[in-house]
A = this chain, B = another copy of it.
């Protein structure tokens, strides 16, 4: 039987602490939903792809806990992670006279999680919410740690909040319906944790990549668990990204520029991150922080994961202006997350000439 025991992991944030449950069959497991905040109303937020697959199952699981479980179904895609979609959640809440105890359940990938979390952060100045990530990317990264946001035409995740969920339910079984392209996108964030924090995990990913792509549950369980452990430790040390937390953005400075530059929804977030990591590794090597074999090693792994390793052709000035708007930038200076010896990330600036070289060398 392709199943695994359920495990729990705590994100330690004082009064905002919460558990991540990782396992099989969790959507239908009453233990997943016990002990959450009591409220007469709940709202499941999902999208047009995920709702037909899993909303009914979640609705049934929640029925014992809320007198009324509403649903709102968003359009699917990063290009809808905007104010208009966010407002459709507020409209649903207000049309149903939902009060300030209403619990929101984010059933979907990173876009659904980010936008539902931000809606929960803002509705009546804050209602509880639960993350039910249905993509690998959301399970290993975006559902954990409380970063919520919507995009702005000028930059990704520019409007948002740090707002922690009550719980994260990572049901590995829902990954069975994940399109291969989405699985690959999730693997980008799994791979990320190796170079920034855990070289042994990078070795493990290289050894188990085929099992992960074949949706082997034991391999997925380890990948999700180890990714969440690393993320939990970083977030517990620096919840609001005053410094350390930025290392989780390895590959994201270049990646966000690709996403925004092409228009949201062209490349998946994980695709941007995969290619962005190759570029950041290349920059690290050109700065002498790592040996030249590291960008090659990472490129091979990213490619094996089914991800693009060459950036799209964007005008050079657009690259630079998009990256100057990155949230890590300060006083107009772009700051990159770079690898400074395998297993360790640093946040630093780089000479613009070198950045231009890397972009030219890595683009189509």
- Chain A interface residues toward B at CB < 8 A: 40-41, 83, 87, 90-91, 94-95, 97, 99-101, 121-126, 147, 149, 152, 154-155, 157-162, 240-241, 324-325, 327, 329-332
Contacts and interface: CB of A to CB of B under 8 A. Distances in A.
B327 A100 contact: yes
A159 B150 CA distance: 14
A95 to B, nearest CB: 8
A126 B161 contact: yes
A159 B100 CA distance: 11
A125 B161 contact: yes
A161 B161 contact: yes
A126 B160 CA distance: 8
Contact of A124 (B40, B125, B158): B158
Contacts of A158: 90, 94, 123-124
Given A99-B331, A100-B327, 20 more contacts: A83-B83, A90-B152, A90-B158, A90-B159, A94-B154, A94-B155, A94-B158, A94-B325, A95-B154, A97-B329, A99-B330, A99-B332, A122-B160, A122-B161, A123-B159, A124-B160, A125-B147, A125-B149, A125-B160, A161-B161
How many copies are assembled?
2
Contacts of A83: 83, 87
A155 B126 CA distance: 15
Q: Which 6 A-B pairs have the closest CB atoms?
A: A94-B154, A40-B331, A125-B160, A124-B327, A122-B159, A99-B330
A74 to B, nearest CB: 17
A94 B162 contact: no
A243 B152 CA distance: 35
Nearest to A326: B99
A206 to B, nearest CB: 34
A125 B148 CA distance: 8
B329 A99 contact: yes
Nearest to A99: B330
Contact of A162 (B87, B95, B125, B159): B125
Contacts of A162: 125-126
Nearest to A328: B100
A162 to B, nearest CB: 5
Nearest to A83: B83
